[in-house]
Amino acid sequence: MSQGMRLDGKIALVTGASSGLGWRFAEVLAQAGAAVALAARSTDKLEQLKCEIEAAGGRACAVKMDVTAVASVRAAVLAAESALGGIDILVNNSGVNKQQRAIEVEEADYDYVTDTNCKGAFFVAQAVGRSMIARKCPGRIINIASVAGLRVLAQLSTYCMSKAAVVQMSKALAHEWGRYGINVNAVCPGYIETGINRDYWQTEGGKKLINMLPRRRVGEPEDLDGLLLLLASEQSGFINGAVITADDGLAVG
């Protein structure tokens, strides 16, 4: 790992850190030298990750955060900063999905997706951005959007809408907060295999989808490591308001 990609002395917050990409993001940031605040609705799994990071010589804390509740978001950010110090890096990762046809979407389904992916992402970014501005501390905010925010995926209307909102949010915050030295960027992953969806890729439907992908494969969480470290590091000083796909060519297919 090059010296420019090290994060020694930095404090990071990762939301949705109890599984999948969030877990991996937290591990990678810790390995690069950052102290990491791990946030999720349930802290049971976070404690396991915290122990693993500390066993490897890193620093971490676990904070309970429900991104759909603004009071919970603000309390968790305060708790993270009390435990580790002012946040320098936010990986705004929490997200949910529900696959269904548009005509089947009920209000509760809509709220379930948008409250987490859109409202939650905004208020987490706001809480961390406020802190950075108050402390006059330049920082990095990395919003995890999706290729679904750039192109339509079948039977995912509310998810596509919510991730498109995250893309536009990232641009708006980059424009507004750039003057404070806060870089805000969006990462749009394509299909990534995690524990949540691993079984699906072995089904007939999953295999059929893989055969429709540009290189007939799905990604692994580690395929995002380099991009994450770049956007979190000082090397990304001139990258602000960018929307970067990491989808193996899906968005242009």
Catalytic member of 110, 112, 159, 180: 159
Q: What is the pLDDT of residues 137-185, one digit of tens each?
A: 999 999 999 998 999 988 889 999 999 999 999 999 999 999 999 999 9
| Nearest by Cα to 133 from 95, 182, 199 | 182
pTM, rounded to two decimals: 0.94
Q: What is the pLDDT of residues 177-209, one digit of tens each?
A: 999 999 999 999 998 888 777 887 788 888 888
Please give the Cα distance from 155 to 166 (Å, whole number).
Answer: 19
* Contact predicate 140/90, CB 8 Å: yes
List the beta bridge partners of residue 62.
Answer: 38
Q: Give residue 77's identity as a one-letter amino acid code.
A: V
Q: Which two tokens stand for residue 195?
A: 């524990």
Q: Which two tokens stand for residue 112?
A: 């379930």
Q: Which distant-in-sequence residues (6+ apart) come within 8 Å of 14 by Cβ? A: 22, 25, 26, 29, 36, 37, 38, 39, 91, 93
pLDDT of residue 1: 42
| Nearest by Cα to 246 from 40, 230, 36, 15 | 230
* Contact predicate 65/76, CB 8 Å: yes
Q: Which CATH architecture fits 3-246?
A: 3-Layer(aba) Sandwich (3.40)
Q: Which two tokens stand for residue 103?
A: 């005509």
| DSSP-derived secondary structure for 101-153 | -GGG--HHHHHHHHIIIIIIHHHHHHHHHHHHHHHT--EEEEEE--GGGTS--
Active site residue 159: yes
Cβ count within 10 A of residue 130? 12
Q: What is the pLDDT of residues 16-49, one digit of tens each?
A: 999 999 999 999 999 999 999 999 998 999 999 9
In the chain, what are the helix, strand and coil shares in percent, each to the nearest 5?
Answer: 50, 15, 30
